[in-house]
Amino acid sequence: QVVAAESTEATSQVMFRFPTPITVENGHSLLVPMIAREVPAERLSLYQPETHALHPLSTVRLENDSESGLPPGVLTLFEQAAADGLVAYVGDAQIGAFPAGEDRLISFAVDQRVRVDRESSGGQTITEGSIVDGILRLTLTDEQTTTYTITGAAREDRLVALEHPRQAGWDLVVDPALRVEETDSRYRIYRDVPAGEVVEVPVTLRRPRFERVSLVDMSDGQIQYYTSAARLSDSVRAAVAELSTYRAAIVDAETALRTLENERRAIVDDQARVRRNLDSVPRDSDLYQRYLQTLSEQEDRLEVLNQEVDSAQTDLLAARQALIDYARNVTL
């Protein structure tokens, strides 16, 4: 008659004590069952992309609903077929210390009959915006979406658990009908996959974010982007669009100033050439007089250009100040 061993749980180990002495003859060995107990179990396929990129692991979830912990060790797993009741070996696995009231996922093989493909995408959406003191204050939502495409086993249903990394500050968004568990570093999302079917499971991580953009420093591309942002109010988008008028005035003023400065620089460079030529021709020659005339005309033009450059610089400063004043006075 087999009498069950009594277990006691210490801080770091589980000890079993048989109620009666056991005698083993010299030179012999003995296998003595210590535990004969049923525990709740659930069969599933656990997808861990860092373990295998395409196939999940054949896994069983065990729940220790007993009064004491179970010791670590090696497990040999068998499965009983539902159709004919035959028992078949399916694999070996290791298990760590198993305290009472906890559950463990035990993986024992790669499930080659199920395939998981992933496709990732991301983006951001503007959800709200206001303008204060020349600053566009934006509330945005960042999203990272991974779509898992699960190709099920041809003749067997599967429960697939997808492990997806957690990120601090991000919220999980999935179909609310799906079962979800959390570990310290991962989400575990469960999906039933009927035999022979392909299902998609989109998993999204979402976080709010705040951004401040100076109206004065906005580029043309930013102006176009924010003007077309549907979630911004009409008044905010109109205020941003008005920046294009002020920026166009600045660009025109910069272009005018640049044109004048280029002309002045070209004249100064040409004067150096003319002076070199003067040194190489006789003073009483017609060519010498022509060079002198050219220098005189260039000096006259430079005098006018200097005034025009000063005026263009003033116009540019005024255009820039107009933008600053507009941005400072807009509050929406």
C-beta atoms surrounding 104 within 10 Å? 17
Number of C-beta neighbours around residue 162 at 10 A: 26
Name the pTM for this structure.
0.69
Taking the alpha carbons at both ends of the chain, their separation in whole angstroms is 86
Give ∠ CA 249-251-255 in degrees, rounded to 5. Answer: 120
- Is the pLDDT at 2 greater than 50, yes or no? no
- Percentage of the chain exceeding pLDDT 70: 96
Instruction: Report the C-alpha gap between 196 and 289 in whole angstroms.
Output: 99
pLDDT digit string, tens, across residues 186-228:
999 999 999 999 999 999 999 999 999 999 999 999 999 999 9
Answer yes or no: are the C-beta atoms of 187 and 164 closer than 8 Å: yes
pLDDT surpasses 60 at 116? yes
The domain spans of the chain are: 6-110, 115-214, 234-329
Residue 175 has pLDDT above 70, yes or no: yes
pLDDT confidence of residue 235: 93
DSSP H helices, 161-233, are 220-227
Please write down the HEC assignment for all residues of 84-100: CCCEEEEEEEEECCECC
Averaged pLDDT, 305-316:
95
Q: How far apart are CA 141 and CA 154, in angstroms?
A: 40
Mean pLDDT of 234-247: 93
pLDDT at res. 8: 55
**In this structure, how many other beta carbons lie within 10 angstroms of the beta carbon of residue 207?**
15
pLDDT digits (tens, 9 = 90+) for 49-105: 999 999 999 999 988 887 777 778 888 888 887 777 788 888 888 888 788 888 889
CA 8 from centre of chain: 48
pLDDT score recorded for residue 91: 81
Instruction: Determine the pLDDT at residue 23.
Output: 86
